[in-house]
């Protein structure tokens, strides 16, 4: 696949009459082209014996141009077995169990989602001095890795499908464990190499969890039905290995240039990382007792001295301050019908997990230069006017004010929510109208995103990352477009 790109900018137009590039006094731009290829071979074997015993075996071989020439191919087999117990003689005819199947599978898959030419050393432009004059030249600006290869995932899954009472109640249960190995990580290098980092195959992350889906026909009558669909999912991830030295990875960038997330052995991927808020200095005696930062004054934010050296420093006194992953997520849909009427209510929810709303960094500037959050009214002014106990003073050095808008535990918010996503009420005329020209008509009204219950100050479902971030910086809300509440009315006509 070839990806040509062109980007041009025109500036200094004399007027608005001619808007094409030829009217611009200054034109800048560049063109580029990238090319990559993926080739795959797939073989699959399916076998079913009397719909009781099921086997599916698959072998896939993939080759990607994004890896080194000696390491471009990956082999990914999988095997799935199923046993349809409800087809066995000892369960056939059961009044309670109408369907029962046990599934087990094991498989491997691969990931090649990195940039094109990443395995190669990239050359860029750089100027140097020759004979007293500035001369354009070239420099190697990234270190290649010719043995770079596939990121590999292996997963085992145990599933159970159960239908009860002629499948009026149907449950699907899945237990899984997935290990992601040979991670495509941007690992740190010794500075003596001339480079700060390079992409390598290092690391191992484990995900394991449980998922359940329930479909229940609660009431089934001629003129009234009620059906409920419910699902819930639990997932836990843990870092088992990181690079050759298992050194923690700092990622993201706060408004002060400090990391926002840390990935380390034994913890989930990309935990929030920053200062731990510990109150407000009320007087000089508290500062003198320490710990404190140089230039601290009464009213500045106090944070915990994590390394215990008596002095507050960036990163050295950072600690894990939040987990971006929920305890569990769930959703539910109820569908009711009564004669010609139908009502559908859908909701989603998350329990646990944290998020950082990035506008807190820009609206908590104590320098008096920009608009700020309303809660800064309750800032510390004096021991007699301590405010709400969380907003520091505007006095003191730049560092004292800056700490408050850096990554800290005050800005980590609980992301638990319950959201009624859709409510639709409809009525269907099935006897025909307009002298039979229209055989049926359904009229409906609906509300989308209508009701949200949460203490989080932004969109709790947003999945954006910190600027310049990646999967190593989850849980960061970088102010996407707001979610609208949509009211709709309409009709469906059948002729």
pLDDT tens, 477-495? 877 778 889 999 998 887 7
Distances (CA, A) of 375 to 218, 354, 357, 360, 366: 48, 21, 15, 11, 12
> Alpha-carbon distance 459 to 452, whole Å?
10
CB 261 within 8 A of CB 252: yes
DSSP code string of 230-277 = EEEEEEEEEEEE-TTT---EEE---TTS---EEE-TTS-TTEEEEB-E
Of 165, 202, 192, 181, the residue nearest 86 (C-alpha): 165
d(CA 408, CA 303): 9
- Cα–Cα distance between 466 and 261 in angstroms, integer? 10
pLDDT tens, per residue, the chain with 495 residues: 666 667 778 887 877 777 777 777 787 777 777 888 999 999 999 999 988 999 999 999 999 999 988 889 999 999 999 999 988 888 877 888 889 999 999 999 999 988 888 888 888 778 888 888 888 888 888 888 888 999 999 999 999 999 998 889 999 999 999 999 988 887 766 767 777 777 888 889 999 999 999 999 999 998 899 999 999 999 999 999 887 778 898 888 888 888 899 999 999 999 999 999 999 999 999 999 889 888 899 999 999 999 999 889 889 999 999 999 999 999 999 999 998 899 999 999 999 999 988 888 888 877 777 788 888 889 999 999 999 999 999 887 777 788 888 899 998 999 999 999 999 999 988 776 656 677 788 899 999 998 999 999 888 987 655 444 567 888 888 777 788 899 999 988 877
CA–chain centroid gap for 212, Å, is 22
Whose CA is closest to 268, among 323, 321, 211? 323
Sign of CA dihedral 401, 402, 407, 411: positive
325 contacts 344 by C-beta, under 8 angstroms: no
* pLDDT score at 465: 53
Tell me: the pLDDT tens digits for 316-359?
999 999 999 999 999 999 999 998 899 999 999 999 999 988 88
Tens digit of each residue's pLDDT (9 = 90 or more) over 408-454: 999 899 999 999 999 999 998 877 665 667 778 889 999 999 899 99
**Strand segments (E) across 112-183:** 123-130, 133-140, 151-164, 169-181
Distance CA 433, CA 15 (A): 60
For the chain, what are the domain ranges?
Answer: 67-112+147-494
Q: What is the pTM of this model?
A: 0.82
Reported as a single tens digit per residue, the pLDDT across 69-105 is 888 999 999 999 999 998 888 887 788 888 999 999 9
3-state SS class at 185 = strand
């Amino acid at each position: 696949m070839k990806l040509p790109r062109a980007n041009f900018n025109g500036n200094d137009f004399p007027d608005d009459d001619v808007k094409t590039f030829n009217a611009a006094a200054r034109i800048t731009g560049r063109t580029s082209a990238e090319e990559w290829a993926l080739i795959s071979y797939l073989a699959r074997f399916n076998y079913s014996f009397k719909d009781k015993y099921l086997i599916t075996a698959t072998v896939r071989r993939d080759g990607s141009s994004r890896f080194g020439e000696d390491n471009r191919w990956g082999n990914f087999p999988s095997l799935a077995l199923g046993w349809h117990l409800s087809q066995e003689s000892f369960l056939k005819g059961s009044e309670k169990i109408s369907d029962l199947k046990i599934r087990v599978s094991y498989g491997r898959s691969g990931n090649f989602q990195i940039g094109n030419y990443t395995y190669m050393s990239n050359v860029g432009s750089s100027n140097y001095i020759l004979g007293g004059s500035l001369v354009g030249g070239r420099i190697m600006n990234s270190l290649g890795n010719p043995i770079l290869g596939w990121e590999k995932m292996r997963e085992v899954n145990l599933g159970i499908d159960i239908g009860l009472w002629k499948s009026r109640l149907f449950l699907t249960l899945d237990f899984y464990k997935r290990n992601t190995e040979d991670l495509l990580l941007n690992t740190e290098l010794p500075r003596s190499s001339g480079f700060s980092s390079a992409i390598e195959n290092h690391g191992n992350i484990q995900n394991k969890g449980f998922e359940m889906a329930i479909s229940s026909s609660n009431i089934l009558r001629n003129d009234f039905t009620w059906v409920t669909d419910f699902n819930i999912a639990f997932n836990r991830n843990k870092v088992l290995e990181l690079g050759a030295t298992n050194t923690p990875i700092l990622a993201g960038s706060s408004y002060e240039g400090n990391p926002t997330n840390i990935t380390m052995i034994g913890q989930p991927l990309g935990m929030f990382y920053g200062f731990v808020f510990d109150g407000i200095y009320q007087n000089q005696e508290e500062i003198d007792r320490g710990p404190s930062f140089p230039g601290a004054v009464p009213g500045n934010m106090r944070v915990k001295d994590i390394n215990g050296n008596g002095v507050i420093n960036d990163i050295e006194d950072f600690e894990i301050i939040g987990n971006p992953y929920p305890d569990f997520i769930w959703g539910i849909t109820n569908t009711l019908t009564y004669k010609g009427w139908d009502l559908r209510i859908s909701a989603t929810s998350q329990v646990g997990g944290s998020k950082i709303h990035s506008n807190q960094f820009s609206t908590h500037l104590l320098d008096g230069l920009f608009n700020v959050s309303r809660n800064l009214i309750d800032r510390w002014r004096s021991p007699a006017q301590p405010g709400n106990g969380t907003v520091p003073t505007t006095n003191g050095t730049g560092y004292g004010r800056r700490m408050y808008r850096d990554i800290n535990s005050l800005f980590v918010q609980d992301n638990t929510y319950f959201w009624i996503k859709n409510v639709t009420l409809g009525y269907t005329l099935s006897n025909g109208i307009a002298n039979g020209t229209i055989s049926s008509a359904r009229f409906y009204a609906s509300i989308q995103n209508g009701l949200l219950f949460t203490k989080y100050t932004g969109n709790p479902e947003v999945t954006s990352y910190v600027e310049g971030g990646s999967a190593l910086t989850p849980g960061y809300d970088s102010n996407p477009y707001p979610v609208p509440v949509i009211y709709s009315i309409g009709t469906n006509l059948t002729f």
